[in-house]
Amino acid sequence: DGAKLVAGCDGSLVCFHAGTGELLALLYTPTLTAGMTGSLGFIGRGILSVAFAPDGQSIAFGDTTGLLHFARADLRKERDSIQACPHGSEACASALAFAPDGRSLAVGYTDGW
């Protein structure tokens, strides 16, 4: 609806009102700060990409180890995580885009896949 802006970096996702900048929600994801070093040299799993599903009810986000995560758009809880990086690579999921019908998610990785 264009009213929300979601950002992430250090293992947390934050949701702001796009017009006022008011903090609406925070999702701390401890699974993303487990002391791992991702392929960009981050300690922990930093969040590099975020996309809203077309229905506005959920979001996808990618981290520095290639994992994809899914959460409710209100950021009340993380739903699921999958390893979708091809060939066992640890490339980072740096770009995400849902198909207009919300049934597919395109993922761009830092290694070109």
The two structure tokens encoding residue 56: 């506005």
Please give the tally of structural domains in the chain. 1
Q: What is the pLDDT of residue 43?
A: 46
pLDDT digits (tens, 9 = 90+) for 47-104: 888 898 998 888 898 887 778 888 887 777 667 777 766 555 667 788 899 999 999 9
If we measure between CA atoms, which residue out of 49, 46, 36, 35 comes closest to residue 7? 49
* CATH of residue 70: 2.130.10.10
Q: What is the pLDDT of residue 40?
A: 41
Domain encompassing residue 85: 4-109
Helix-, strand-, coil-residue percentages of the chain, each rounded to 5: 5, 50, 45
pLDDT digits (tens, 9 = 90+) for 3-43: 888 887 667 778 888 899 898 887 766 555 444 444 444 44
